[in-house]
Amino acid sequence: MELDPRRLTVLAAIARTGGVLAAAEALHVTPSAVSQQLARLERETGLTLVVRGGRRLELTPAGETLAGHGGRIVEELAAAADAVSELTDSVTGTVTLASFVTAIAMLVAPALTALRSTHPAITVRLVPEDAALHRLRAGTVDLVTVELDAGSYRPPARGLRDVALLDDPYLLVLPADWALPSGERRSTRLRGAFELPWVVGPPGSAMRSVLDRLGREVGVSPRIAHEAAEFPAVFALVRAGLGVAIVPRLALRAGASSGLRALDLPGLGARRVAVRHRAGRGEPTRAARVVLDALTTRAAEVARR
């Protein structure tokens, strides 16, 4: 029996993404095309390859076996594309990058500007960070900028890898007319800050993680007054006298700092900005590695300032 490798790669995409719609997005085809290729593969093999009816499309044991072969075909094709690029000394392709706001302003936009002149054959498509890590695993996004508390950093799950760009020091920001208890001991000043109302990021964000970590260190739980996902909103709430916040230095540089007082307290730590990508044979692609290099170069320039 001769199997069409294209149908095996479609099955591998379904296994990776968990459904026809997501596989279609990853392959840049219509959902109808994915369904047709799957149906033809089942007819050709005489096997039931998926369990239909659930929210997530599950593969049968036979489907898992063939999807594994399809995954290896995808890896070989990616490796062949990289070999062609190296032989012709040209890098082409489209790289989809998901990023958060401060990284776009300080890192991504300048890096992409530089890439236009050095690698005009590479197209970078910037998309919102909504569900970015799920889309990274599914294959619809190639690179994701992430922000993590460096003091509690853990490597990503198997199959993913982080490339660190920079560690961005944290600052404590207060309304301009507020003050912390005087004294030289960091713990005393932090305890004083923890008695104030706090503006925090959503659960899982770097802003929330650093506050949780510091609270454990000083043995005090913060009094959370407001929650905001974006730094401009955080600064507006602090400027209005509604609380204090811990923010990374780059966010303060990118936003308006008038009406705010920033304190560089010892031991606050830093936000780690990294790029996350899939780690496997042929991943990241050569084009994605060029984008990674551009982001790393830009981050080094920012860190020197």
How is residue 248 written in tokens?
A: 């990374």
Distance CA(139)–CA(71), nearest Å, equals 12
Name the phi and psi angles at 208, rounded to 5: -70, -40
Highest mean pLDDT among 16-20, 125-129, 251-255: 125-129
pLDDT tens per residue, range 63-118: 889 888 888 888 777 777 767 766 656 678 899 999 988 899 889 999 999 999 99
pLDDT tens per residue, range 159-188: 899 999 999 999 999 999 888 766 556 666
Which has the closest alpha carbon to 57: 17, 113, 103?
Answer: 17
CA-based radius of gyration for the chain: 24
165 within 8 A of 299, measured Cβ to Cβ: yes
Distance CA(155)–CA(274), nearest Å, equals 11
Q: Which domains does the chain have, with CATH numbers?
A: 5-86 (1.10.10.10), 94-166+272-304 (3.40.190.10), 168-268 (3.40.190.10)
Q: What percent of the chain has pLDDT above 90?
A: 30
CA distances from 155 to 274, 275, 276 (A): 11, 12, 10
Residue 16 has pLDDT above 70, yes or no: yes
Distance CA(215)–CA(231), nearest Å, equals 21
Residue 291 has pLDDT above 70, yes or no: yes
Sequential DSSP letters for 78-92: HHHHHHHHHHHT---
Identify the pLDDT of residue 89: 63
Identify the pLDDT of residue 246: 93
Phi/psi class of residue 139: alpha, beta or left (left: φ > 0; alpha: ψ in -120 to 50)? left
Respond yes or no on whether the N-terminal peptide bond of residue 284 is cis (omega within 30° of 0): yes
Report residue 128's pLDDT band, with 50, 70 and 90 as the boundaries.
confident
Tokens 């305890």 — which residue? 191
Between residues 249 and 77, the one the model is more confident about: 249
- Indicate the range of 1-15, 115-129, 233-247, 282-296 predicted with least confidence: 1-15
